[in-house]
Chain A
């Protein structure tokens, strides 16, 4: 198992290298000039050109690319923001806790509400409970996050005055953003859980379990749910990755200085180091989360664990045979 993890970690190097080259190339060809962004609107073309030279933006593509790859992969330096004059890594690390807080709370809400909703819907397929759960799920995937966010603000901040409308501070500042952000996730989770559970519930071994006289509860939680977990875990993993990427809309509506705001503001300003550093950091984070998801698969489903171990054994056998 550990060998599999190490192998996957080593695979991350070419993946990140690929991401770095692609994002650098995109930013290079992206229209817009960071030198012009730094200067005032009244700056003359000559002043902008002088700034471009000073920033090294006049150098050829290949020189800048190699310089960037050298800086990132050999010196582990994501560069310095053109605007903040601050290291990109420290900028990301400063903002990460806000994004992580939102992502973790949303994930918990998604798992704790979405999964039971999906199970209830599956168990009562075509019944009233199923319909109610699916209407909630449909609303969740249909209602835009920003609209829900504004509605929540109007109700809980403006009308009732219970919660702050924006900003960061104590946990109360995260309640509205997390509800607004988690709603769609809860819906997806409920739909995925329902469909996985329905598939499993129809399996022969569930029929056998029923025939053996096991209680419905035992069948559900001991036999059906563990077997339905793989697609559910995939949804959770993907969702976590996406949320760590920054929930741009929610961060913008609630003025939360997270990673999403950091990178979108950098895109608008053509702050190349921040955009490239942010994307690279998120690429690494996403790869790690996907690795974690794969490891969880192995723990949830012994067949997958055996598969991983089998791969390593056959690799070992091939090595011996060749050696």
Chain B
């Protein structure tokens, strides 16, 4: 019996040692063992990333940058369908701007024509767009007005693009001029958004495609799909025959600094780290936050790599359920109590290691119409005493409030932090996490939650981010008011004034901001970062308007 026990102990010891050796394989020789748990837990200082230049595609930087033969980009999901007008998905947006061009593009908030040479507003509901007269697609098919009409009509027919629903008609005036008629007077940024919503292809190429371009897309960009292994990789090659021969007219998104781009689908986040470590990919935005330090200064894999941290255009915001049955409906004190109880800097540190940014509006600082003076305002700045005072004045009866969120990304962590902050002032909060699909549905269920944690963002103006929650015209049929059930005529008036092209400007923006702060129907909490890790082969990382990597527009070491 004793012998058996000894043998068993020996086997256990051997297996534990083997486990420790295997676990240690991930750590460098100089690192402390990960099994050492004796040290007290400490909040780490944000890692200083190795020098990296990351930003929206910038024509000057892209054109003056070096070129490369090939680059491999790690992406989180398969595009599944690369057709020009198929539904959006995480994989699709990663390859979209490399595959297709649009009528216009945006660089640092300013719109530039890509296929459109000029455009002008004829009346509040009519625009004329002039095309370059020498455009052809990657297969050499010439592109004219009729192709623009075909592209827009096809995109509208799919009903995949809500922003195109404002189009009444698209008509070819002649070979290179197109008339867009809209069913309403367009609001601020709306025309550009419509132009940026529809990928343009030639009718000839589309009709020649056996699969409606699902696996064999042909856009007007410099790149053509060479091979596509669904769920695994897409290889695109520069055709060497890009239509825009005048380099001064090539904008950031259309620059083609690399001959071959390989998009490698890596669904498991930790494998992005491995792929960069082993050199299997050159650049990725899928590395988990916990692994970023490995590539930063002093990190295990810092040599030959760099980390770029850029602020996302998504803001995590809190929206109160303002429906008739909600505890928040007539209780401004409760709304304010919860708002003052949140330490936004603490949320930034806890969720993003300090690489994000606490926000001072229901949106973030990345918009051109963001007022920098708001940074100095008291935007429900963390004040526990004040929060408790408001709570005491409120009619809160100790009931458990329900916080609904989408249980992916960092939302879960932020929800837990909010729960802790609110618990600090005596408000009990239950967390209700849904997957993306259920969350999209449940956010309009007035009985399903009390508070909503949501991430929203726009690619153009701050008012268009506000619109995603506060424009009652979009939600009235379902909620009776704004997205979070607010029925407030003054809010509606201010929202519409901020969106209307005639009244849009600092005054209307300021008025809306002030009113929302005063009423506290909802507020922004934190803006998350996007971590991009890349090899030193890349000297400047270019991103599109959705903050996706644009490998063609990146600059490469000579």
Contacts and interface: CB of A to CB of B under 8 A. Distances in A.
A168 B265 CA distance: 10
Interface in A162-189: 164-168
A141 interface: no
B43 interface: no
Nearest to A155: B25
A81 B81 CA distance: 10
Contacts, number: 166
Nearest to A38: B87
B440 A33 contact: yes
Contact of B160 (A51, A256, A270): A51
Contacts of B162: 39-40, 42-44, 46-48
A161 interface: yes
Given A83-B80, A164-B280, A257-B78, A153 B437 contact: no
Nearest to B7: A131
B5 to A, nearest CB: 12
A126 B15 CA distance: 20
Contacts of A154: 22, 25-26, 274
A153 B275 CA distance: 10
Given A85-B214, A86-B214, A167-B264, 20 more contacts: A31-B438, A32-B438, A32-B441, A36-B441, A37-B436, A38-B88, A38-B160, A39-B88, A40-B88, A47-B162, A54-B159, A83-B87, A153-B271, A157-B278, A165-B275, A166-B271, A255-B267, A256-B232, A257-B231, A257-B265
Interface string B69-86: 000000001101101001
A154 to B, nearest CB: 4
B212 interface: yes
A95 to B, nearest CB: 7
A42 to B, nearest CB: 6
Contacts of B86: 83-85
Most chain B beta-carbon neighbours within 10 Å: one of A32, A36, A128, A135: A32
A281 B88 CA distance: 27
Contact of A47 (B25, B165, B458): B165
B229 A151 contact: no
A104 interface: no
Given A47-B165, A85-B212, A86-B81, A37 B274 contact: no
B268 A253 contact: yes
Interface string A144-159: 0000001101110111
Interface string B207-247: 00001101000000000000001111100000000000000
Most buried by A among B25, B89, B274: B25
Contacts of A261: 231, 267
Contacts of B265: 255, 257
Contact of B474 (A41, A44, A158): A44
B186 to A, nearest CB: 16
Interface residues of A, number: 60
Contacts of B363: none
Contacts of B474: 44-46
B435 interface: yes
Contacts of B436: 37, 268
A167 B442 CA distance: 36
Interface size class of B (residues with CB under 8 A): 35 or more
A131 B81 contact: no
B150 interface: no
Interface in B253-274: 264-268, 270-271, 274
B11 interface: yes
A168 to B, nearest CB: 5
A214 interface: no
Contacts of B77: 265
A252 B271 CA distance: 10
B290 to A, nearest CB: 14
19 contacts: A36-B441, A37-B436, A40-B161, A44-B162, A45-B474, A48-B162, A81-B80, A82-B87, A83-B86, A84-B80, A95-B230, A132-B11, A161-B278, A168-B229, A254-B271, A255-B232, A268-B436, A269-B89, A269-B437
A24 interface: no
B90 to A, nearest CB: 10
Contacts of B278: 157-158, 161, 165
Contacts of B81: 81, 83-86
